[in-house]
Structure 1
C-alpha cells in the first residue's frame, strides 16, 4: 500500500443513498456488494457496539474483493466502559478475532476514546502498554488535551498512528508524520450530517497525496458521506 490513500465510508446501509449512490431498484441486501464496486476499503464500526466473532469476520472476508481492506473499531466495552483498564486479555482476544477472521484484508485497528478521557501521563502509559504492536494501531481522541508533543513523540516512537479528526469540537490538524495518515470526517458543524465543500476536500487531498493511509467519511446520517467520498475519489484520481 506504499504511497496510497484508500478512501471509504464508516457505514453503507443507508436509505438516504438510494437514487444518490445506490440505484433505486437495487435491493438493500446488495448494497454492500455495490459499495465494494466503488470503494476498496470500509471502516467497520459494528464491532464497537458488539464484540465480534471470527465467523462474522469470515463472512465479511468472503463477500469482499481480493484486495479489499477493513479498518476495525475496538469495542466500546474496552475503550468506553473499562477505558483500557484491566482489559489486556480482552483486547488481545479482539486482535486475534480480527486477524483470524479477516486475514490479509485486515487493515488498521481503531481505538476511539471518549471525550471524558482526558490526557494524563498515566493514561498515555496505559495506551502504550496495552497495544499489540504486531498490528497497525490508530488512536482517536475526543479531548483536545491529547494534542500535545508528549503524546505525538511517544506514538511516533512506538509506531502508533494519531488519528486526524474532522470534528466540531477538536483541532482540524491533518497528521502526516505517523505510520499512516488516518482521517475521520465526522461532519462540521453538525456531526454526522454536515457535508464538506469541494474546496475543503481539495485542501485535504493536496496535503496527503504523497502519503499512505485511509480516509473515512462518518457523516453518514444523510447523503453527505457518500457524496463526499465520491468527490474525494474524483479529486484524487481514483474514479
Structure 2
C-alpha cells in the first residue's frame, strides 16, 4: 500500500472534518438515548453501601491502543481478543471513546457482552457534548440521558467521569452549574484541567453534594490527592508530558502513601500514560504497593 501523500495541513483538515461529523452525530445519539430513558421502566440504579475496609479498582484509561501490540498484547493476537487479554489482568477500565462519540444502547450492551461472566466494572467518560460543547449550560436533561448508561450497565457500572477543558476556569457560577446538575445519586467524578479549581470553595461544594474530585498526576496541575467523598479517584497522565511518562517506584510509593492515608471506602485509579505500555506496568506496580488485586 502506498504511503499517504497528504500534507500535514490536509491530514489536520481531514481529522477536523471527522471530529465535526462526530459532534453532529452526538446530538442525534443523545436524542435517541433521551427517548430510550423516557421509555424505560427500569429505575436508575442506587449506589449500594460500601463494604468494610477499602475496595480498589485499578486499571487503564482505555484498552485498545495499537502501540500496545507486542508491548502488552502478544504478537499475533487478533484485535478481537484484545479485551479478553486485558480483562485477564484488570477488573476495570475507563472508557475514553465515549467522550468523542456518545455511546448507543447497542454499544453499551456490547460492553456487557464482552465482559462475559467475569466480574468487571466500567467507568465511562462523559461525552464532550456536555462538558466541552455546551459546558454545562442547559445540559440538565443531557446529564440524565447520559446517566441512563448506568441503568443499562447495572452492577457493571463504576463512575461517570466529567472532564472539563483547561479553558474552563473556576467561577462561583460554573461551580454551581456543575454541582446542581450532577447530584444524580450516581458516582460522578469531576476532572478539572485548570489550577483555579484547586480551592476550598470547590472542595466544600463537592463534599456537600457527595461528588468526587478527580486527583491528577499531570503536567502543570497540583500534584496532590483531594478527597471530597467516601470514594477517591485518581488519573495518572504523566509528570512532565501528557501520556508519556514511566512512573518511578518512588513516585508510585508517594501516591500509595497518600492513598492509604486518605482511608477512602473505594479507590478508583486509572493510568492514562498509554505510551509504550507504561500504563499497564505502572498500574500493576501500584496495585502491588497497595496490596490490591487487579
Equivalent-residue separation in structure 2 for 1:20 and 1:231 (angstroms): 16
Equivalent-residue separation in structure 2 for 1:52 and 1:187 (angstroms): 27
Provide TM-score, normalisation by structure 1.
0.94
Q: Secondary structure at the match of 1:24?
A: coil
Query: Are 2:190 and 1:136 aligned?
Result: no
Query: What is the aligned counterpart of 1:90 among 125, 142, 161?
Result: 142
Structure 2 partner of 1:106:
157
Contact 1:6 1:40 in 2 (8 A): yes
Query: Are 2:290 and 1:236 aligned?
Result: yes
Structure 2: unaligned runs, 5 residues or longer: 1-49
Equivalent-residue separation in structure 2 for 1:156 and 1:180 (angstroms): 11
Shift of 1:177: 4.6
Query: Are 2:259 and 1:208 aligned?
Result: yes
Provide, for residues 124-147 of structure 1, a one-character-per-residue CA deviation record: whole Å limited to 9, x for no partner: 110111114221110000011111
CA 1:134 to 1:76, structure 2 compared with 1: closer, same or farther past 3 Å?
same
Would you tell me which structure has more helix in proportion to its own residues? 2
Structure 2 partner of 1:169:
220
Q: How many residues align?
A: 238
Provide, for residues 37-92 of structure 1, a one-character-per-residue CA deviation record: whole Å limited to 9, x for no partner: 11011001111001111221111012114421111111001100110001111121
Query: What is the aligned counterpart of 2:59 among 8, 20, 39?
Result: 8
Structure 1: unaligned runs, 5 residues or longer: none
Q: Secondary structure at the match of 1:222?
A: helix
Provide TM-score, normalisation by structure 2.
0.77
Query: What is the aligned counterpart of 1:78 among 97, 105, 130?
Result: 130
Equivalent-residue separation in structure 2 for 1:223 and 1:184 (angstroms): 16
Matches within 5 A, 1:16-165: 16-64=67-115, 65-96=117-148, 98-165=149-216
Q: Secondary structure at the match of 1:214?
A: strand
Provide, for residues 133-178 of structure 1, a one-character-per-residue CA deviation record: whole Å limited to 9, x for no partner: 2211100000111111111011111100100011101001112352
Provide, for residues 84-130 of structure 1, a one-character-per-residue CA deviation record: whole Å limited to 9, x for no partner: 0011111211101x123211111111100001111111111101111
